[in-house]
Structure 1
Amino acid sequence: MSLRTAGSIAQSALTATQTAITVTSANTANASTDGYTKKTANQSAVTVNGQASGVSVSSVTRDVDEYLLRQVVSSTSSNSQASVLSSYMADVDSAYGTVSGSDSIADVIDTVTSDLSTLASGGGTDTDKSATVTALEDMATTISTASSTIQGLRAQADSDIATDVDAANTAITTIASLNKQIVAAKAAGQSTADLEDQRDSQLKTLSSYLGVSYSVDSTGAMQVSTSSGQVLVGSTAHTLSYTAASSVTADTTYPTGFSAISVDGTDITSTVKTGAIGALVTLRDSTLVDQQTRLDNLASTVISTVNTISNQGTSYPAATSLTGTATVSASDSLSGTGTLRLVAVDGNDDTAAVLDIDMSGLSTVQDLLDTINASGNFTASIDSDGHLTITAADSSDGIAVNEMDSSVGTDGEGASLYFGLNDVLTGTGASDIAVNSAISADASLLPTGTLSSSTDLAVGDTAITSGDVSIISDLESAFTGTQSFSSAGGLAKASTSLAGYASTIISSAANAASAASTKADTASSALDDATTALSSQSGVSLDEETAMVSTLEQAYQAAAKIMSTLQEMFTATIEMVN
């Protein structure tokens, strides 16, 4: 072997070793860098005309177990989904309070029950009426606030979807950009290891937002699609499209109230099941909708129960006027049977005038107005809000109503209930439940007793009495007794008290929050295990890298010694020739 050949071999060894040292140094420096994988400088012998002529670094590669990487990608998606669900369910649980708390939706109902009992046993004092109205207001506010919180969470979920879609799009476009760089580098024979690390990091980020599947072709390009097969990264980036709703109420639903999550015009909303976006869609369109449905079931039952009883009664003293809560117009048809009684009550609580109306003889609301106004003792009209208003013709008299045996409409409601003349609560569900504004302003308007139903009631007879708390007693019985609840929001139909059903809502939410928290912990542990396994396989070991540096330094020194020796031999040869 000539000295020149030997020198060439030694020089290549120096160069290859220097490259290997550089790679090892980079490994050591990035040992704690998230997503960095160990790089290896692969050496191969160089031959010329069949003769060994040195060594070179043929490539710098990384060793990543694809199975472990897929486990990390899948676990990342599951962990994000579980984490989001757990966070939101904790907020739902908090919105309802606790069964043993002092301000839960069950507790405020119990407070109403207690105050009704006090009002009934105390004979209907003004102080007890005021306390009862306050308790009713607290109950309505607590339920409506819980509803508002649920809708606020739905709005937040919708907003979070838009935010996460933007973040997912960043990952999608970055992967597509890295694909181009990797393909170009691979074609040029350059290392793509660091670029692949960056792409894997973006893939994990993308999987945290929605479930994905992926593959890498022979050119080095990665194709990514949703779990359902919608392409996100092909030859180009296919980004998601979404616009958050401007406002969210209980009536806002997908697909009419919320826009679609789409890719290239294809709606993929219903197919996104995992990742943070999948969790948010489930929360917004299912989980939180169920919670609202449960609250509405509670609220509507409370409203119906209270108003059905309160409209059988009257306040003491008699109100100066009665205004209904139902919206009607004079031309509305009115199909009814039985008798509705109106009585003008004087300052001594005696009957000043009586009007018994035969409901079967009326065809429209206008007929009812005409009948009342024709009596000369009462006036009736529809106010600007579409509510029936009735007063005594003599402004010094109050007015009281007794539904008697009247039945109006397809539901067969008493006439007072049909028009809402003595409604204590207003609204149709949890979002708008409230105490009648007139009663909130004047607690004495709370119906406590009943107007005489005697068939021979005449002018001068006692109409109402101050100690009559029969309606309050009926309300107390309704709150302590059993009510029938239809199935709603995943809760089975039930026969329980109003507070009992509220407790069921609370306990169900608490159980769901606990289960979500446990699942989040499990998903987090699974991701940690998968990440640790991948890191152990492809991560950097400082001990190994330190040992490798030592070995390479020795190899470098040996190659350098050979070069030095060869230089001396070259010098000696030249001197011999001269």
Structure 2
Amino acid sequence: MSLSAAINTAQQIFSNTGQQTAIVSKNIANSSNPDYVRRLAMMGVDAEGGYYIKIQRAQNEALFKQNITSISGATAQTRLLDGLTQMQAVFGGNDYGTSPSTYLATFRSSLQTYAASPGNITIASSTIADAKDLAYSISTSATAVQNIRADADKEILEQVGMLNGYLTQFETINNEIVGNLATGKDASDALDQRDRLLKQIAEIVGISTVTRSNMDTVIYSADGTVLFETLARKVTFTPSATFDATVTGNPIYVDGVALKAGTGGNTTSEGSLASLVQLRDDVAPKMQSQLDEVARMLVTMFKENGLPGLFTWSGGTIPTAGTIEPGIAASLQVNPLAEADPRILRDGGFNGLVSNTDGSAGYTALLDSYIVAMDTTQSFDTDADLGGSASIMTYASSSIGWLEQLRKSASTSNDNKTAMLAQTQQALSNQTGVSLDEELALMLDLEQSYKASAKLLSTVDEMLTTLLNTVR
């Protein structure tokens, strides 16, 4: 080998080693960055027999897509569970201590106590107080359920804004990647950014992707609607100003196609948007309907002379039998006449029909009929998802059981989907993440390569010095 060839070889080794060292250093610096994919400095040979460095990413497309799917599923499940936990809190948390079923049982017990001592005005007052607690529990629960719907609607608006922002950023990064690769530039950093955006998009809406030969990526929603193809598609949503039992939330449109809501405790939702729609349009309305049915039955069972008696509502009528009266729960209250004179519950007279005509202190016929009615099978609207017949006591307990069963299913599924997400993230990290041990070992190898190149240059320098001294 000539001296000039040796010098050129050493220079090339220094150049390649420098590039490889820079890549290793970058890997080490990003070892804790979950969105960074390890860079590989691959050695190549050009047409003239020279060596060059080509940078590659340790990407695993199959594991990345699996991770994206897990992100969507886990995020959706967590958001549904959060909503169900909020709803559980409305009724007093784990023991449901402030639920209508709890107050209903207390009120029934008070009626029995009053029937045993119908002449005791203190017990009469206590019974009316328990009736007020029951009505208040139902009305405030209905308001809280509608607040949960309203909060979900606001969150949908926020997330739709975020999703549109991510899609706009994706368009910019995607164009940068295509342009860089077309001109032979390194697109690794832009590819990392694009992958990060895909993860953020997947948290909001379930997606699938197709990458074309020029590395241009197309994004589809979980139901096949195009979210991005060359240009970002618009996701639109109009929030509702207020929520009550008669208001239906507006749909979310992806490129003009309505986004489907999830179903079940182990939700079919992918991404938080579908879970929010499920919570707003399915779970919360079902609970609202169940509260309305309990309120409707109370008004019906305690009616007098064809009109509301002990329990009244804003409609002022006896609702249609076996049919949900939307919103009745929110306005349920105890008749003010009962507060003025608690004995009216024993005697009657809310609407001019007095049953205890002689004012007997031992009269219990009305009280007994109310107690019997509360234990008698009644007709309920099956749209409330609790069956068509039950006593009001059983129905109210079943409502809490329905919520708790749904919440437990969501909790178990959340544990499973979160564990699956952790596994896919770990598998992806093992394939594409940075291992400090590997990078440090590679750095030592590069150091030895550098030392060998330096030794070669040192040897060439000595030979040149000897040659020059000889010429002199």
Give 1:42 deviation, angstroms.
1.3
Structure 2 counterparts to residues 184-195 of structure 1, below 5 A: 184-195=179-190
- Cα distance in structure 2, aligned partners of 1:248 and 1:313: 29
1:262 counterpart = 2:274? no
SS of the aligned residue for 1:229 comes to coil
Question: CA offsets per residue over residues 230-264 of structure 1, 9 Å max, x none?
Answer: 2222212223222322211111114xxx2x32244
When residues 174 and 433 of structure 1 are mapped into structure 2, their CA distance, relative to the original with a 3 A threshold, is same
- Cα distance in structure 2, aligned partners of 1:219 and 1:502: 61
Question: CA offsets per residue over residues 400-421 of structure 1, 9 Å max, x none?
Answer: xxxxxxxx9998xxxxxxxxxx
Root-mean-square deviation (Å): 3.0
1:114 pairs with one of 98, 103, 109: 109
SS of the aligned residue for 1:161 comes to helix
Match of 2:227 in 1: 232
SS of the aligned residue for 1:61 comes to strand
Report if aligned partners of 2:300, 2:308 keep a CA contact under 8 Å in 1: no
1:277 counterpart = 2:273? yes
Segment drifting more, 31-40 vs 110-119: 110-119
1:473 pairs with one of 349, 354, 368: 368
Question: CA offsets per residue over residues 181-202 of structure 1, 9 Å max, x none?
Answer: 1122212212111211111111
- Cα distance in structure 2, aligned partners of 1:324 and 1:556: 87
- Cα distance in structure 1, aligned partners of 2:407 and 2:55: 49
- Cα distance in structure 2, aligned partners of 1:3 and 1:250: 90
When residues 144 and 187 of structure 1 are mapped into structure 2, their CA distance, relative to the original with a 3 A threshold, is same
SS of the aligned residue for 1:558 comes to helix
When residues 306 and 56 of structure 1 are mapped into structure 2, their CA distance, relative to the original with a 3 A threshold, is same
2:430 pairs with one of 533, 536, 539: 536
When residues 249 and 452 of structure 1 are mapped into structure 2, their CA distance, relative to the original with a 3 A threshold, is closer
SS of the aligned residue for 1:443 comes to coil
SS of the aligned residue for 1:225 comes to strand
Structure 2 length-normalised TM: 0.89
1:22 counterpart = 2:22? yes
When residues 311 and 123 of structure 1 are mapped into structure 2, their CA distance, relative to the original with a 3 A threshold, is farther
- Cα distance in structure 2, aligned partners of 1:551 and 1:489: 70
Match of 2:338 in 1: 439
Give 1:575 deviation, angstroms.
4.1
State the aligned residue count: 459
Question: CA offsets per residue over residues 159-212 of structure 1, 9 Å max, x none?
Answer: 111111122222211211111211222122121112111111110110011111
SS of the aligned residue for 1:488 comes to helix
SS of the aligned residue for 1:40 comes to strand
Give 1:452 deviation, angstroms.
9.2
Report if aligned partners of 1:310, 1:447 keep a CA contact under 8 Å in 2: no
Give 1:121 deviation, angstroms.
2.3
Report if aligned partners of 2:386, 2:395 keep a CA contact under 8 Å in 1: no
Give 1:106 deviation, angstroms.
1.4
- Whichever structure has more strand as a proportion of its residues is 1
When residues 99 and 201 of structure 1 are mapped into structure 2, their CA distance, relative to the original with a 3 A threshold, is closer
1:483 pairs with one of 378, 386, 403: 378
SS of the aligned residue for 2:208 comes to strand
Larger radius of gyration: 1
- Cα distance in structure 2, aligned partners of 1:469 and 1:124: 10
When residues 188 and 573 of structure 1 are mapped into structure 2, their CA distance, relative to the original with a 3 A threshold, is farther
Report if aligned partners of 2:154, 2:239 keep a CA contact under 8 Å in 1: yes
Match of 1:31 in 2: 31
Match of 1:168 in 2: 163
Which amino acid is 1:35 matched to? D
Structure 2 counterparts to residues 41-440 of structure 1, below 5 A: 41-48=41-48, 52=49, 54-57=50-53, 59-97=54-92, 102-254=97-249, 258=250, 260-264=251-255, 266-270=256-260, 273-308=269-304, 429-440=328-339
- Cα distance in structure 2, aligned partners of 1:191 and 1:96: 57
- Cα distance in structure 1, aligned partners of 2:390 and 2:81: 30
Give 1:441 deviation, angstroms.
4.2
- Whichever structure has more helix as a proportion of its residues is 2
Give 1:137 deviation, angstroms.
0.7
Question: CA offsets per residue over residues 496-525 of structure 1, 9 Å max, x none?
Answer: 3x2221111111211111110110110000
- Cα distance in structure 1, aligned partners of 2:309 and 2:294: 23
Where does the alignment leave 5 or more consecutive residues of structure 2 unmatched? 263-268
When residues 20 and 409 of structure 1 are mapped into structure 2, their CA distance, relative to the original with a 3 A threshold, is closer
- Cα distance in structure 2, aligned partners of 1:410 and 1:508: 24
- Cα distance in structure 1, aligned partners of 2:423 and 2:320: 63
Give aligned-pair identity as a percent: 29
Which amino acid is 1:55 matched to? Y
Which amino acid is 2:72 matched to? S
Report if aligned partners of 1:452, 1:463 keep a CA contact under 8 Å in 2: no
